[in-house]
């Protein structure tokens, strides 16, 4: 069945050919309808093997490359979900663009002048635990007893571990609220993502996608620098990305 | 320390896939050619990725990883 693989939508009237940069070397070009441009390639008739991991990674990388290029070319793009093939030829696309014209324009205008960033917050778990144990009287007491070498040391060690775990959870919550508030003041929209596994020492406690207005980027950096200086905390910033996380809203 | 975005070489495949898969606008199902398995690609890849990141950290698969990163980050300037 004939179809067009669609990468993103932009607001533009001019025909653009991107060359053979699409998935599996597909020729990427634009299809227009009333001021909107869909960036597409002619989908191959064959079904891919979705279990072929390397191939799927290649596809995702190619997908990102095309969206990135369109983003640089048009300034504002609305990314479409990975591997969306719209039925039919140019007519099918025009029909879709026409039927969703108002909605697409509205989404695009909400993304104009904004960029997506990824912010990951890590903490050094041992460092934070050590600081907590030293600064909380009850924990300090347990720590001394646990290290005393007496018969109850083991029991106190267990109690300390439990109390620390609880204290760490509260501490993580406290950091989360403080950092979230700082970022929320400068970002227009925030998506809270699942923290990923880092390693034993360096745990990811927050994983956020932000939509930031161009004029607020310096403010964002300023807040992130404050966060990065917090005891035991480190920040990782990625981007700018096309607004993948904000296409649905 | 001055916060700057991770430079291109430090953007990992995980960062890229995290953004590209399972995000973006969903088009009405009746207009789309559905391909068996595609909805699972994100899940499958993410399951494989944790292990891959570790391999990269220990120096394996580095060339491959670099190649993917380069491929994914062509061009420098970003639009305002």
Whether A80 and B24 lie within 8 Å, measured CB to CB: yes
Contact in structure between A195 and A207 (CB atoms under 8 Å)? yes
Residue that is last in its domain, among A64, A90, A112: A112
pLDDT of residue A151: 82
Domain boundary among A86, A112, A138: A112
Question: Residue ranges of chain A with pLDDT lower than 50?
Answer: none
B80: closest CA among A213, A95, A132, A203?
Answer: A213
Question: Do A121 and A108 share a domain, yes or no?
Answer: no
DSSP A38: E
From chain A, pick out residues whose CB is under 8 angstroms from the CB of B4: 221, 237
Model confidence band, residue B21 (pLDDT cutoffs 50, 70, 90): confident
pTM across the whole model: 0.83
ipTM exceeds 0.95: no
pLDDT digits 0-9 by tens, B36-60:
777 777 777 777 766 665 555 555 5
- Put simply, whether B29 touches A (Cβ < 8 Å) is no
A223 vs B72, more confident: A223
A107 and A123 inside one domain: no
User: Is the confidence at residue B77, as pLDDT, over 60?
Assistant: no
| A83 closest CB neighbour out of B31, B35, B72 | B35
Q: Tell me, yes or no, whether A145 and A233 share the same domain.
A: yes
Nearest residue of B to residue A197, measured between CA atoms: B50
Q: What is the pLDDT of residue A224?
A: 96
Sequence-separated (6 or more) residues with CB below 8 Å from residue B27: A6, A80, A81, A84, A86, A96
Single residue among A112, A128, A163 that ends a domain in this structure: A112
Q: pLDDT value at position B79?
A: 38
pLDDT of residue A220: 96
Q: Are residues A163 and A235 in the same domain?
A: yes
**Cα angle for residues A54, A57, A63 (degrees, 5° grid):** 145
Q: Are residues A84 and A155 in the same domain?
A: no
If asked whether residues A143 and A241 sit together in one domain, one would say yes
**Out of A50, A61, A81, closest to residue B37 by CB:** A50
Q: Given this model, what pLDDT does residue B15 score?
A: 86
Of residues B1, B31, B45, nearest to A53 (C-beta): B45
Residues of B in contact with A72 (CB under 8 A): 75, 77-79
A129 and A106 within one domain: no
CB A39 within 8 A of CB A70: yes
For residues A139 and A108, state if they share a domain.
no
- Strand arrangement of the beta sheet that strand A114-124 belongs to: A189-193, A202-213, A114-124, A233-241
User: Which residues is A206 bridged to in the sheet?
Assistant: A121
Q: Are the beta carbons of A51 and B50 separated by less than 8 Å?
A: no
Residue A114: beta bridge partners?
A213
Distance to chain A for B59, nearest Cα, Å = 16
Q: Domain range spanning residue A176?
A: 116-246
CB nearest to B79's CB, from A61, A72, A238: A72
Please check whether residues A122 and A96 belong to one and the same domain.
no
Structural domain total, chain A: 2
The chain-wide mean pLDDT, for chain B, equals 68
Q: Are strands A36-42 and A3-11 parallel, antiparallel or unpaired?
A: antiparallel
DSSP, res A11: E
Instruction: Encode pLDDT of A44-76 as tens digits.
Output: 766 677 778 888 888 889 999 999 999 999 999
Which chain B residue is nearest to residue A120, measuring alpha carbons? Answer: B15
Whether residue A19 lies within 8 A of chain B, CB to CB, comes out as no
In whole angstroms, give the CA distance from residue A158 to residue A145.
11
Q: Where are the domains of chain B?
A: 13-73
Same domain (yes/no): A185, A135: yes
How far, CA to CA in Å, does A123 sit from each of A20, A133, A168? Answer: 44, 16, 11
One domain for residues A63 and A122: no
Q: What is the pLDDT of residue B14?
A: 82
Q: Are residues A128 and A12 in the same domain?
A: no
Residue A80: what pLDDT? 96
């Amino acid at each position: 069945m004939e179809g067009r693989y669609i990468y993103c939508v932009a607001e533009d009237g001019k025909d653009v050919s991107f060359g053979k940069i699409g998935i599996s070397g597909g020729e990427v070009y634009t299809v227009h309808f009333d001021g909107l441009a869909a960036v597409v390639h002619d989908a191959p008739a064959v079904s891919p093997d979705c279990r072929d991991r390397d191939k799927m990674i290649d596809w995702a990388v190619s997908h990102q490359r095309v969206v990135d290029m369109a983003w640089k070319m048009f300034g504002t793009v609305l990314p479409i979900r990975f591997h969306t093939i719209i039925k039919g030829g140019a007519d099918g696309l025009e029909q879709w663009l026409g039927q969703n014209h108002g909605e697409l324009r509205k989404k695009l205008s909400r993304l104009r002048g904004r960029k997506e960033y990824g912010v990951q917050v890590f903490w050094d778990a041992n460092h934070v635990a050590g600081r907590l144990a030293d600064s909380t009287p009850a924990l300090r007491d347990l720590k001394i007893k646990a290290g005393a070498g007496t018969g109850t040391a083991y029991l106190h060690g267990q109690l300390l571990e439990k109390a620390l775990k609880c204290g760490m959870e509260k501490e993580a919550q406290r950091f989360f609220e403080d950092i979230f508030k700082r970022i929320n003041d400068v970002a227009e929209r925030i998506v809270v993502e699942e923290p990923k596994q880092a390693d034993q020492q360096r745990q990811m406690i927050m994983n956020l996608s932000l939509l930031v207005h161009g004029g607020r980027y310096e403010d964002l950096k300023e807040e992130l620098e404050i966060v990065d200086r917090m005891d035991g905390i480190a920040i990782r910033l990625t981007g700018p990305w096309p607004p993948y996380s904000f296409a649905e809203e | 320390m001055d916060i700057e975005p991770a430079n291109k070489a430090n953007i990992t495949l995980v960062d890229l896939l995290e953004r590209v898969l399972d995000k973006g606008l969903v088009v009405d199902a009746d207009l789309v050619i559905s391909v068996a398995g595609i909805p699972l690609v994100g899940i499958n890849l993410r399951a494989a990725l944790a292990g891959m990141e570790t391999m990269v950290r220990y120096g394996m698969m580095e060339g491959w990883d670099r190649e993917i990163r380069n491929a994914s980050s062509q061009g420098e300037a970003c639009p305002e």
